Amino acid sequence: MNAYDEYMKSIVVPMRQELVQNGFNELVTAEQVQQHMSESTGTSLIVINSICGCAAGLARPAVIEAVKEVENKPEHLVTVFAGQDQEATQTMRDFFNEVPPSSPSIAIWKDNELAYFIPREQIEGFEMDQVKDHLVQVLNQLNVQ
């Protein structure tokens, strides 16, 4: 690993920890993604994390607050980090390749299929509470249990 990669990995540690400290399982390898997606049952809330400002100020806080607020919580909270864990991110995106790659983004995987997707375009430029409310509404409509 070169000096730039080392530097970037150190910069993103707090960005990773924000989700991990709030109950998310970070998937950092393609194998971990494959295992989760093939073995998990029920509903997974998947965050495609990123280093950008809309991830820091909108996506991560909105997801954390939505999970606290929603009545029926997803069984699984997972995240991959775009631009950092490239193989893991690509493997995750392959599971819902019908939507263009987008980071940050939020996916809801239910019954072995993509149930809902919130792309960057529905995060960037919105207020954090709008993103949170959108996710809460979707999770409640999907009757996540």
pLDDT tens per residue, range 4-41: 878 877 888 888 899 999 999 999 999 999 999 999 99
Host H or E run for residue 110: strand 105-110
pLDDT at res. 144: 55
Q: Is 52 a catalytic residue?
A: yes
Burial of 116 from C-beta contacts in 10 A (0-12 / 13-18 / 19+): middle
pTM value? Answer: 0.93
The DSSP secondary structure of 41-66, one letter per residue, reads -SEEEEEEE-SSHHIIIIIHHHHHHH
Backbone angles phi, psi at 126, to 5 degrees: -105, 165
The Cα 76–Cα 46 span in angstroms is 8
Neighbour order of strands in the sheet with 43-49: 25-26, 76-81, 43-49, 105-110, 113-118
The one catalytic residue among 33, 47, 54, 107: 54
Residues of the chain with pLDDT under 70: 1, 144-145
Q: Does the domain spanning 24-143 belong to CATH 3.30.70.1450?
A: no
The one catalytic residue among 52, 59, 92, 131: 52
Q: Is 54 a catalytic residue?
A: yes
